[in-house]
Amino acid sequence: MSPHPVTPVPTADLYDEYGEDLGICATPFRRIGGRRLFAGPVRTLRCHEDNALLRQLVHTPGEGAVLVVDGGGSLRTALVGDLLAGAAAASGWAGLIVNGAVRDSVALGELDLGVQALGTCPRKSGKTGAGTVDEPVTIGGVTFRAGDTVHVDDDGIVVLPAGH
């Protein structure tokens, strides 16, 4: 991962430049975190209603990366709350994209961290440690791969494949 943060570029401008080479996520995520625009190299995590691996990852140096968490679209439990999001912000992550639920949304909105999620749920998730890290995940018709670059703004989430 590059230790240098990626400057967010408006997603519409990226589309104008890259056209169909750009992956456009069709999932209607909600902006929940305090950072409205964010971008960075992709890291991925696949977990279902269990955030033990997520807890480990957000305590490692984020180096400006965006963690894409594929929770399978479950809104039954929250994968991220204020403590994990606060750890991610403190560890230098640019943002979290959660294909699932979060909680403590008011506190998340006050953090200098991009957080996009499907919704909210007050229920905590499991803690077994099940899941995989840095394997490709497909959400909203686009595949996120470690090393790709993701840009997020109010118009959407786009992925620029590595090498562009």
| Distance in angstroms (rounded) separating the CA atoms of residues 73 and 118 | 7
83 is in an annotated binding site: yes
24 touches 15 (CB < 8 A) = yes
The DSSP result for 12-55, as a single string, is: HHHHHHHGGGSEE--S--EE-SS-SSEEEEEEEEE-SSB-HHHH
104 is in an annotated binding site: yes
Q: Name residue 12's amino acid.
A: A
| Distance in angstroms (rounded) separating the CA atoms of residues 2 and 61 | 11
103 is in an annotated binding site: yes
Indicate the annotated binding residues. 81-84, 103-104
Indicate the annotated binding residues for Mg(2+). 104
